[in-house]
Chains A and B, each alone.
Chain A
């Protein structure tokens, strides 16, 4: 139990489908992150939320839409994805965005396959 729970663990979706990834943390952290992990590439930061407010969007295509209703929950809504979007999507949290020295607590990820 890492304190950050992601569901589902695996997802296969067609290019015309709409699906959502869910992340929940019970650590009392105020910052939450979405990362994309592809084979042989560094972790790519997608979005950052700090105290429920989006503070960073790293030029992510609009087919990825994040939502953060409160500091404990983070969603990633997916629609009309491309096969190259297949990857491991990791959610992470930290005490606050302004203190990266404390490190991140990651969830186990959602393995997404777009067919």
Chain B
């Protein structure tokens, strides 16, 4: 009964390199969310995906960042030409389906352990 899996757990990159972060949702979950947490700050929403579709990318920086959730395989958050300001913890969450916000069906988002990206 695996939870949300993320790998790698720690990633070190030099400025200008590419970072690829992977997220495998919980079994049966078709919705994936990526959040970024800078040191000593709260989580900031980045992107919400369903299989093969980006639903909401309002939190994604306009450049260098992209995300996908293919039909097969994990969701990937890709950061090109990393800079020191990209150093953060990146959390992935998954939920089974969309919600209308009913009292008994809230479809909480389950978080993975995070990938801690350090840019040297």
Q: Do A and B bind each other?
A: no
Residues of B within 8 A of A (CB): none
Residues of A within 8 A of B (CB): none
